[in-house]
Amino acid sequence: MAISGLALVVSIVSAVIGQIQEKKQLRISVREQLSSVVQDLISSQAEYAMLYPEPPEKRDSAYGVKMGTLNHKLTSLARQACALDKLDGEVGFDVQFIAIANALATSGDQPTAEEYFEKAVARSPSVYYRSINLTLFGTFLFNQSQPEKGRRIFADAAAALPLASDFNRMTVSRAYQAWCIAEAWNDPASGVRADECYQNAQRILQGIKSDPMRKACLRDLEQATGRMPAGEPQPPS
């Protein structure tokens, strides 16, 4: 009986160890596949972004076919990535979720894209990346005609980092810069809000102690926003 009991214990332990190893191997496989799919997705998204703004007069008869093929490819890759994420929800990184969200938004699946922006924010490895991911999420929400939620997200992005260093000041100012552009581009009637965001970004940048860094950041702010005065918002160039 003692021998039988010992054999049973050994069998149970072996089964548990086998399950642990199987789960570990599955996680490794999912992580590798997800990384590969996301890399392809990023490349396809870049190709789409280069082709999309081509002016109508330069579009040949194959333009529609190219755009349709790319959109189909993005959709397929995004769905593959979502399926892999569902196999093991712990392997994905925030930056991968952002790439998936962008592809889903491009292909037209806005509800799932929003879910993946939220996943990216939740998976942010630091307050810096949380601020970055919230900023990207805020821009997406404005583009989806959700300005009120977008404003709350942008406010969270700006509040995520303390203004304790030049790097943090630059990061927070860019959240306000993106917010300014989103207000002006997607809600032209909110010129005062856009101007407030611009002024906040400018005020924070003025606090940067490094003179070259401060000047470069202020120049970038002016170029990105077109130095939009209150009441006269302009689209980004």
pLDDT of amino acid 18: 63
Dihedrals φ, ψ of 133, to 5°? Answer: -65, -35
**pLDDT category of residue 11 using cuts at 50, 70 and 90:** low
Cα maximum dimension of the chain? 88
Q: What is the pLDDT of residues 142-181, one digit of tens each?
A: 999 999 999 999 999 999 999 999 999 999 999 999 999 9
Please give the pLDDT value at position 5: 56
d(CA 68, CA 217): 38
The pLDDT value recorded for residue 14 is 64
**Burial tier of 179 (Cβ tally within 10 Å: 0-12, 13-18, 19+):** buried
Over residues 198-226, mean pLDDT:
95
Q: pLDDT confidence of 51, banded at 50, 70, 90?
A: confident
Residue 233: its pLDDT value, please?
40
pLDDT digits (tens, 9 = 90+) for 66-124: 888 888 999 999 999 999 999 988 899 999 999 999 999 998 999 999 999 999 999 99
Instruction: Tell me the C-alpha distance between 155 and 149, whole Å.
Output: 10
Interatomic CA distance for residues 80 and 83, integer angstroms: 5
Look at residue 86 in the predicted model and tell me its pLDDT.
Answer: 93
The rounded mean pLDDT for the chain is: 87
pLDDT exceeds cutoff 90 at 50? no
Entry pTM = 0.82
